[in-house]
Amino acid sequence: MDNFKNLKEEAYNANIALYEQGLVIYTFGNVSAVNRSEKVFAIKPSGVPYKELTPQKMVVVDFENNIIEGNLRPSSDTKTHAYLYQHWEDIGGIAHTHALYSVAWAQSLRDIPIFGTTHADHLTQDVPCAPPMDDTLIKGDYEHNTGKQIFDCFNNRKLNYNKVEMVLVGNHGPFCWGADAQKAVFNSRVLEEIAHMAYLTLQINPKSEKLKAALIDKHYQRKHGTKKYYGQ
């Protein structure tokens, strides 16, 4: 009996969307979808090409990384997802990609500056890049500690995960989240576009200045504020 049919379908559809958006190749990346009432989430199996995925191949695990349903090995990033679900109660889906420009910024260990209004439509500050993991943590429970690395970055910078739904993990790549798995995919696509635009901006003018505060506020509020009217 398939006890988590809807959850696995949500995770499957989101993983396929990640692939169709061109954010992953081969077996790179993963998306998960959470069931908060059952304290479980469904995630892509490890090593399975996207074209071979089915809803039935999604693996359901609990927040302690125990397999609840499924015959395949869950993604190697499962512990990272579990850590974030445990500590950030409002998120409903998480996506991890190896998208080109997002990863390039992560490898450069740089935040993505807020240069333009496209960026400001989605968040009001730079996209944060978490610093590289300490050697002790690398030698420990690495994937679990990647979740801790993200969590600590937000705590140290006093960032709100409900306002900033994306992060670059230094030397690694991007993680995004949202109210559900599809929003996590959406944010992953937005992040890749922002990363690409910022890269080109600095190529054209290495001395480019950040977007001024009035424009940041205007663009964010017209899309997300109490009197929002911009639907793009």
Q: Cα angle at 184 between 163 and 153, to 5 degrees?
A: 50
Catalytic residue, chosen from 121, 142, 152, 180, is 121
Q: Is 179 within a domain?
A: yes
Q: Is 232 within a domain?
A: no
Residue 100, domain extent: 5-224
Q: Is 230 within a domain?
A: no
- In this prediction the pTM is 0.95
Distance of alpha carbon 34 from alpha carbon 178, whole angstroms:
11
Q: Is 50 within a domain?
A: yes
Q: Is 22 within a domain?
A: yes
CA distances from 31 to 14, 71, 94 (A): 6, 18, 6
For the record, the structure tokens of 114 come out as 């807020």
- Per the structure, the count of domains in the chain is 1
Catalytic residue, chosen from 2, 26, 90, 230, is 230
Q: CATH no. for residue 169?
A: 3.40.225.10
Q: Going by C-beta distance under 8 Å and a sequence separation of 6 or more, which residues neighbour residue 146?
A: 77, 79, 80, 83, 133, 169, 172
What pLDDT is recorded for position 176?
Answer: 98
Is 16 within 8 Å of 48 (Cβ atoms)? no
Catalytic status, residue 121: yes
Nearest to 107 by CA among 168, 40, 39, 41: 168
* pLDDT mean for each 10 residues of the chain (232 residues): 89 98 96 97 97 97 97 97 98 98 98 97 97 94 97 98 97 98 98 98 98 94 82 62
Distance of alpha carbon 62 from alpha carbon 83, whole angstroms:
11
What pLDDT is recorded for position 3?
Answer: 82
Q: Is 231 within a domain?
A: no
Distance of alpha carbon 174 from alpha carbon 64, whole angstroms:
23
Catalytic status, residue 12: no
Q: Is 101 within a domain?
A: yes
The phi and psi torsions of 10 (rounded to 5 degrees) equal -60, -45
Q: Is 69 within a domain?
A: yes
Ramachandran sector of residue 104 (left: φ over 0; alpha: ψ -120 to 50; beta: rest): alpha
Q: What is 6-26 written as a DSSP string?
A: HHHHHHHHHHHHHHHTTS--T
